[in-house]
Structure 1
Amino acid sequence: DEVCEISENMIPTGEFIDVTDTVFDLRNGKVIADGIKEKHHQFDITRAYDHPFVLNRVGVRGEPEIVLYSEYSGIEMEVCTTERVAVIYTGNYLDDVPAFDSGYNKISKKEKNDRYLGVAIETQDFPNGINERKFKVKLLEKDKEYIQKTIFKFNVR
């Protein structure tokens, strides 16, 4: 229901943005490319998605918190995690990274813009949480164990 606001320095500010009726409202499914084309003042900073999404269901049992699906390939990825946040990043700064087609042939710059050719899902606790009291991040003490679990499950529809 919320995403972390990003500062001009690309760091979470400690404030939350309600995703309702915004480019960040992915709760009922959305074509990522369509979202990137929409306007939002946060995209003036990040170019597109590069935001920590607050997860509502934390745990690795039951329904996945995140589902990505490609109509092109038919591949679906489900993500379940014990972490409280998933940063969704859409390759906003990959302008000079070469792109390849499904046959692993390099695509020329004239054929395709390399930016936005992938999506990263980074499960974690709140970025910059150490500096923001609202995030209530627990510090890992010396010689203490930290256990988290993230499951990425792939299917073909």
Structure 2
Amino acid sequence: MVTSTALVLLLLATVIVNASAFANSEQVTVSKEVWGHYQGQNILQFTLENKNGMQVSLTNWGAYVTSINVPDRNGKLEDVILGYDSAQAYVDDCCYNGATVGRFANRIAGGRFYIDGKKIQLSVKTNGGNKGNHAHGGEQGFNKKLWQAKQVDEKVEMRYLSPDGEEGYPGNAQISVLFSLNNDNEFSVTFSATSDKATPINLISHIYFNLAGNQKRNVEQHQLRIAADSIVEVKAGLLPTGKLVSVLGTPFDLTSPVTLKKSLITPNSQLKLAGGVDKVYGGFDHTWVFNQYDGKLHYQAQLFEPGSGRVLEILTTQPGVHVYTGNFMNGSAIGKQGKPMKHRHGVALETQHFADSVNQANFPSTLLRPGKTYSETTLYRFGIRQ
């Protein structure tokens, strides 16, 4: 015979078990596979999946984001970033397609700067548009390294120790990137770093977005809005002049949503400096300076693709976003499903500090000193619009 007290306990236990089962069904799952090999070591691929079927895949080669599958307005899941089908293709990648870039993303003039009166000389590019300057961490930046990776609860953490003197940078820098996904279709990337010597740090995730899905058309009809009244002015070589200039009356005015094509076919000397396939107008390869910046997470940008209805909202702790419209993509690189990556088939929205900050006293500082921790987060929120 079951007493009333025992019955209550039995029912309570059943409720707890059922609640636990429901909670587990709502959790984001993480799977892992050996995807390839590099110098005798495994290249891993992790996949995060939420209850909505949204999937984000990552590899510990270069801490790349390799795919983001999200629904369109009809519920169809498609990949909304550029990239490749194999691990080897990421090893051979020319274009930072989803890579973690560092120690210092973007450009440093001549690869030279001073820390406490001491001259630092970094490696410089020997050819191409960045010849003579340091760009994206050097010839063998973080995108060309095999990171240590592990699952941490429902997240994936990747770590890399950048040794003193690598690409000319001072200090042993311990780098960490934490990738997470939730059931609100929010994917976040958090970078952190420490160093035993003063060193500049500017870490980014270099994802090329195409919200049409599966690269079925270019990004010219995407609408972009950025909460920024100014950009970082650049000169030849896309190096900052040190000035912040107003976007008012220019194709850089994205304070309300603007179709990319409309901006990119407007004659403008700053656009022309970006060069590339479009010899007449150029393109975006510039940094927008957010109106609100205090190191906290703020909603700063939105990308919308009318054909699919997909919307991407970007929240970040960073002071700006560098927009690159794939100006040099000419179809020579073959991406997913054997599709060539053509001109303006992706737009990179790189939340970051500003190029050449180490030489520009009026820019937010990128110098990390011993005993301090660098930490920056960017959240990518995906939705739909009917």
Q: TM-score, normalised by structure 2?
A: 0.36
8 A contact 1:2–1:19 mirrored in 2: yes
Indicate the residue corresponding to 2:313 in structure 1: 78
Aligned residue-pair number: 147
Residue by residue over 1:26-57, the C-alpha shift from the partner in whole angstroms, topping out at 9 and shown as x without a partner, is 00110011111111101221021110100113
1:45 is matched with 273
Question: Secondary structure in 1 aligned to 2:368?
Answer: coil
- Rg larger in 1 or in 2? 2
Identify the match of residue 325 of structure 2 among 75, 86, 90.
90
Check whether the contact 1:86–1:121 (CA below 8 A) recurs between aligned residues. yes
1:138: how far off? 4.3
Runs of 4+ in 1 over 6 A off after TM superposition: none
Q: Which SS does the other structure have where 2:264 is aligned? A: helix
Match of 1:36 in 2: 264
Give me the CA root mean square deviation: 1.9
In structure 1, what is the equivalent of residue 252 of structure 2?
24
Give the match's secondary structure for 2:258.
coil
> Which residue in 1 is equivalent to 2:372?
144
Alignment deviations for residues 90-115 of structure 1 (CA, whole Å, 9 cap, x no partner): 10111133477xxx4636xxxxx921
Q: Distance in 2 between matches of 1:106 and 1:119?
A: 16
Instruction: Give the conservation status (yes or no) of the 8 Å contact 1:126–1:137.
Output: no
SS across alignment from 1:44:
helix
Matched residue, 1:155? 383
Of 238, 244, 249, 1:10 maps to 238
1:65 aligned counterpart, secondary structure? strand
User: Partners in 2 of 1:97 and 1:105 — Cα distance?
Assistant: 10
CA contact (8 A) 2:353 2:364 kept: no
Asked if residue 54 in structure 1 is aligned to residue 289 in structure 2, the reply is: yes
Q: Which has the higher helix share?
A: 2
Letter of the aligned partner of 2:238 in structure 1? M
Percent identical across equivalent pairs? 29
Aligned to 1:106: 339
SS at match of 2:326: coil
Please name the residue that 1:66 is paired with. 301
TM-score w.r.t. length of structure 1? 0.85
Which runs of 5 or more residues in structure 1 are unaligned? 108-112
Local SS of the residue matching 1:42: helix
* Cα 1:141–1:155 shift into 2, 3 Å: same
Q: Which has the higher contact order (CA 8 A, sep 6+)?
A: 1
Residue matched to 2:349: 121
Alpha-carbon distance between aligned partners in 1 of 2:374 and 2:364, rounded to the nearest angstrom: 16
1:67 alignment partner AA = Q
Deviation, structure 1 residue 119: 0.8
Which amino acid is the alignment partner of residue 84 of structure 1?
P
Higher strand share: 2
CA contact (8 A) 1:89 1:120 kept: yes
2:242·2:360 contact (CA, 8 Å) conserved in 1?
Answer: yes
Any stretches of 5+ residues in structure 2 without a counterpart? 1-228, 275-281
> What's the CA shift for 1:136?
3.5
1:142 CA drift (Å): 2.8
Would the aligned equivalents of 1:98 and 1:114 in 2 still touch at CA under 8 Å? Answer: no
